[in-house]
Amino acid sequence: MIQIKQHSNSLFTSLMLVMCAVLFSSFTAKPNPPAGDPIKLGFIPLTDCSPIVMAKELGLFKKYGVEVVVTKETSWANVRDKILTGELDGAHCLYTMPFSVYTGVGGKAGSEMKIAMMLNVNGQAITLSNDFCGKVGFKQMNKVTPVVAAKLKAEKEVTFAMTFPGGTHDLWLRNWMSLAGLNQKAVKIITIPPPQMVANMKVGNMDGFCVGEPWGGVAVKQGIGFTQIASQDIWKDHPEKALVVNKEFSETRREDLKKVMKAILEACIWLDNPANRKKAAAIIGKAPYVNAPADVIEGRLMGDYNLGCNQGTEVYDNDYMLFYKGGTVNYPRKSYAIWAMAQFVRFGYLKEEPNYKAIADKLILQDLYEEVAKSMKVKIPADDMKPFSLTMDKTVFNPANPSAYLKVVKREIVSKRLSY
């Protein structure tokens, strides 16, 4: 009997110790533990994937209480498909992609992808092959068409590449051709994923391309091409990449999405401190991310553009790649969505004008962004839906009346449907 009693006392003591340990751990646990399944965010190997990558590397997702898995994707079409099917909850995306897909330019019409916030402005470029070196220089727009015409006469075909039909690189390329007086039907335009641009130019598959950094800088470093113009020369502080999310995810995990947005917004603030950009370049340059030379990434991140073709260096002071700029970068403006859809009409992707405002309202989570920004004391710009013009093309675009803009600009026809 005495042995049984001693055993019972020992068991009771052990149970009490376990209960105390459980209670103690519950009081000392970190706040905001991750809830639900891990959130899956994709990115394409480009410098402007930095907000998502650095939010992960700096531990900001954990700080805000969400578990995030970040994956490298192969192409924008792949990103589109994975967001639509829910294989990805969201991704670093071309800001025009949701509108391109919804209108049927770059996907199945009516497919919904939501824009939660913007990630960056500026930082893309048009690179020409060395065949053009010495014939057309940096920002020499008046020389582009004669040089292309001469090459067409000699070789019968000139090919330019962009990354996704109706994507930002497609629109910068077509606006560049328009500014140069070059009819888009005169050249062949193909779709190539960003990290494959340099390799394709190296083997002669294209004469020029429009893509985000660091690939323009890499082409210069490898001596196979030169920068003819940067996208911020065409339109200073133009919208570029966005955090685009799956429709169901945005509806069913709204609180988790807000935490993701807070982490990314904090990463954008961190990235806009020039003192942090060397560290950022070293991290995103690694193989799991962009897999490109850190010095090339850093140079263009800091606004120092080695142009190639013995053109020297162009230094951008306040209009290189920016991620925050006091909150003006991150606000998802409906006016920019309407401008993009007007370009689809202008360049012949769409025969009829879409219901611009209704589509922008449907696909942009502007209220959600405002909620997040206010909670972080980030200023919300008051310029949305006001008229604006691009830096080189001074045609005023009034988002309240895109039809008037289309009557002024030259409308062109896409020579053939591009694959997506």
All domains in the chain, ordered by first residue:
39-122+239-293+322-400 (3.40.190.10)
In this prediction, residue 12 carries a pLDDT of 45
In this prediction, residue 414 carries a pLDDT of 58
pLDDT exceeding 70 applies to what percent of the chain?
90
Residue type for position 192: I
CA distances from 244 to 188, 314, 389, 403 (A): 30, 32, 25, 27
DSSP state of 388: B
Residue tagged 């590449």 (tokens): 161
List CB contacts of 348: < 8 A, sequence separation 6 or more: 411, 412, 413, 414
In this prediction, residue 35 carries a pLDDT of 56
Q: Residue 258 pLDDT more than 60? A: yes
**Which pTM was predicted?**
0.90
Confidence of residue 416 (pLDDT cuts 50, 70, 90): very low
Of the candidates 175, 225, 183, the residue with the CA atom closest to the CA atom of residue 204:
225
Confidence of residue 410 (pLDDT cuts 50, 70, 90): confident
316: tokens are 């951008």
Torsion (CA) 36, 32, 258, 90 in degrees, nearest 10: -40
Q: How many C-beta atoms surround the C-beta of residue 94 within 10 A?
A: 28
Of the candidates 249, 240, 299, 252, the residue with the CA atom closest to the CA atom of residue 51:
240
CA–CA gap between residue 388 and residue 132 (Å, rounded): 33
Confidence of residue 411 (pLDDT cuts 50, 70, 90): confident
In this prediction, residue 76 carries a pLDDT of 98
**In the predicted model, what is the mean pLDDT of residues 190-199?**
97
On the CB side of 76, how many CA atoms lie within 13 Å of its CA?
33
Of the candidates 343, 48, 350, the residue with the CA atom closest to the CA atom of residue 171:
343
In this prediction, residue 413 carries a pLDDT of 62
